[in-house]
Chains A and B, each alone.
Chain A
């Protein structure tokens, strides 16, 4: 198969970027999108040019490294990660544009590589259960309803790729934030910190410069893990409760953790 590519090139964060045209030919339809870029890169190097930088690692759709905006859609047309997008998904001879995930909170480091460290900082602000390592209680003394476990798991499978952010017209990271809150808050272990978690993570989310959620639903349409926008509703539920707790706390009735 043959393709015409328009690839975003940008030497570093401070520099201006722009599209560069390339052609690749003789690509096997079974090659993944990233393998097609590899073929192109080997050709660029052989011709004396600078290869295109992009993030990738596991190539199985689970590490969340790859982050290409393909034809304007995060990860491309099939709602899977960039590495799981295959050239057979495109018509032969197609012209395809490739850009980095776009969001003001994700500055471009080079070409298609962006800085997604804000997502780590949102987790830092409460995306965990506060236990340290050591002897813990026997798990079966605290049964978890299988439907709760399933519900937690549906949210916990988030790979932190940031496609939701790149798709959102507001540049919101609420699907990411909501997924972690829904995971931990739907388990009995996560219950004691549920309000602080919701409050802390949303505060950090806003501080990073992400926009608010206004229910466009673009995030769930591109999420490679098919995480439902419902997690944002769950987050809001606990966030509202958290605000009430804080109000009460100011009156001295309940001390927040």
Chain B
């Protein structure tokens, strides 16, 4: 038991913690900042904003991304919006309310101090983005427009049509390109991190593969920031981009970073249902659609009329019936579970029976086509493009899909992992969303981390760093050799099957047994099956070509090898968390109505896993969560 979890939360009342930290942290003078080099891996909202900010402060920044351009990171696909407590709508919104909503939405499994800071910084993000030229929607008078999102009773979500993530990411990307132009930052595109270099217990650099040439090389720095996103692709079919992967955080875990709450993965309720086996990915339809769309299924399992012909009395608006005060705006985990329940009851719609209607008929009647088109025009077009059906004429069909991982690398209040000098931000860390993330909170967290928190906590770390990084340290060469060996191993299996075939099978296991609901026996059998499949993978994999060229099969195989290990840890974590919380519904722990039942006495903790060696059971550590500001209660959205 070597790992020590010290969250290093400043003393004092929650509303003053961040300011007292800012007032007392150590600084690096402007003339000295150019002496430090910072590596940022990943150029999504968190990575690009962090890289741009630190470069702007004067640090030398090297940003890595596997895409051909920093602008293509998957934050680009976030649709609905970003929360901020501006209270322009004069509804009595406040930092405290956003804090409470987020803590409650996360089912009391997030750290209070972090969440408060997030809520506090939310307004500055909007200011920053507007200054960069992000074209948020405006009211007639030219003021910023807002709308509401799942799990809350105020309109605090700012948006750029249905492409908010794209616009915020382009803002951060452009800020980064500005720093590239100024010579402060360098973007290493088409480079994938394969390992972390640790020297005397500190992160000192990374090993990356140039995806174009296959060259594997070490890159030294004074600290390393991982902004590599989430791991929902472990389910194969998810809303994540095809190349999103867990390799960077998994390698960091195997080098000693604690992995927190791996089983907390969010299944998003509004995605386009799967239509066939060939499918490679699921498409999210923004949650904002639930503002005006009504979710229903036919009351009778043998219903065979077209949806538009089904009269009111034969429609089951199950969310409105079961949750009268939040209705269609219940949090994501609740909406997903209820969809699964009605489909399990045989009421699902569409060719597979795994789908529910999201209907805009009433909203179009009440508010007019123009208003609805203004809000969701591009989402309707996207739906029609993919399915060939028009939401103007017939209800959308939706079904839950894996979307976001609340779990990730454990970080302290300063976003530093258990390896000194290794930071994790955005979806790659575990921090702010507890057991369930609320809508429009991901972008808020990424940008709060990147623009406003990390640059200061990195400064604090660097100011105290009294040894220089030696790029000739043998650890760099050794880590490169280990990565090369790994590539050689994947190339040399000599089987017959493409990596994607294994990935699909792994995804099925995880979706069935570590998905919307879980239970102990299923999880245990999943671990057995994952191990078996992993063995098959290592004996029947075929990676064509060589390692010294652009080789997409090799990229896939490497990521998948890590997914096998992560999948097993997710199941182990789900077994240990012998309660239901947020997205994690253990069938053994639920009310008669299928609501999650938490066990605050035993499980008000963060479960943090420490790697002990290949094929050894990792150690489990706990960070105990205390709730001083909000009394943990059973969530009720009724």
B276 proximal to A (CB < 8 A): yes
Candidates B143, B242, B385, B498; contact of A41 at CB < 8 Å: B498
Interchain CB contact under 8 A, A160 and B69: yes
> Cα distance A12–B548 when bound, in Å?
11
Q: What's the least CB distance linking B276 to chain A, in Å?
A: 5
Within 8 A of A (CB), among B233-248: 241-243
14 further A-B pairs in the complex, CB-CB below 8 A; given A128-B132, A132-B53, A157-B163 = A12-B550, A38-B500, A39-B278, A58-B74, A63-B73, A110-B549, A110-B550, A115-B68, A120-B189, A124-B180, A128-B174, A129-B131, A131-B132, A135-B124
Q: List 30 A-B contacts (CB under 8 A).
A: A11-B549, A28-B278, A31-B279, A35-B279, A36-B278, A45-B497, A46-B496, A46-B498, A53-B551, A58-B72, A62-B163, A63-B67, A63-B76, A63-B241, A65-B68, A116-B69, A120-B177, A120-B189, A124-B178, A131-B131, A131-B175, A133-B53, A133-B175, A133-B452, A139-B144, A143-B141, A149-B136, A156-B135, A156-B167, A189-B131
A211 contacts partner chain B, Cβ-Cβ < 8 Å: no
Interfacial residues, chain B to chain A (CB-CB below 8 A): 49, 52-53, 56-57, 67-74, 76-77, 88, 124, 126-128, 130-133, 135-144, 160-161, 163, 166-167, 170, 173-175, 177-178, 180-181, 187, 189, 212, 241-243, 275-276, 278-281, 283-284, 382, 385-386, 388, 451-452, 455, 496-498, 500-501, 542, 544-545, 549-553
State whether A45 and B243 are in contact (beta carbons under 8 Å apart), knowing that A50-B544, A131-B132, A133-B455 are contacts in the complex: no
Contact: B280 with A28, CB < 8 Å? no
In the complex, are the beta carbons of A120 and B70 less than 8 A apart? Answer: yes
Inter-subunit contact B142/A46 (CB<8 Å): no
Q: Which of A114-133 contact B (CB under 8 A)?
A: 115-117, 119-120, 123-125, 127-133
Q: Is residue A206 contacting chain B, with contact meaning CB distance below 8 A?
A: no
Query: Which B residues are in CB contact (< 8 Å) with A134?
Result: 128
Given A123-B177, A145-B142, A149-B138, A189 contacting B130 (CB threshold 8 A): yes
Grouping DSSP codes into helix (H, G, I), strand (E, B) and loop, the A interface class, with mixed when no group exceeds half, is: loop
Residues of A participating in the B interface, judged by any CB pair closer than 8 Å: 11-12, 27-28, 30-32, 34-36, 38-39, 41-42, 45-46, 48-51, 53, 55-65, 80, 84, 86, 88, 109-110, 113, 115-117, 119-120, 123-125, 127-140, 143-146, 149, 152-153, 156-157, 159-160, 183-184, 187, 189-190
Q: Which residues of B contact A34 (CB under 8 A)?
A: 280
CB distance from B349 to the nearest CB of A (A): 16
Q: With A110-B549, A128-B177 known to touch, is A153 a contact of B160 (CB < 8 Å)?
A: yes
- Of A42, A50, A134, A160, the most chain B CB neighbours within 10 A belong to A134
Residue in B128, B161, B181 whose beta carbon sits within 8 Å of that of A124 in the complex: B181
A84 in contact with B386 given A39-B278, A143-B143, A146-B142 (CB within 8 Å): yes
**Is the beta-carbon distance between A133 and B552 smaller than 8 angstroms?**
no
State the total of A-B contacts with C-beta under 8 angstroms. 219
Does B68 contact A117, Cβ atoms closer than 8 Å? yes
**B135 x A153 contact (CB < 8 A):** yes
Q: What 10 pairs between A and B have smallest CB-CB spacing? A: A143-B142, A128-B174, A132-B56, A136-B127, A45-B498, A133-B53, A139-B130, A136-B131, A152-B135, A57-B241
Beyond A35-B280, A124-B181, A135-B127, whether A57 also contacts B242 by CB under 8 A is yes
**A149 B544 Cβ-Cβ under 8 A:** no
A51–B174 CB distance below 8 A: no
A11-B549, A38-B280 known; A30 and B275 CB under 8 Å? Answer: yes
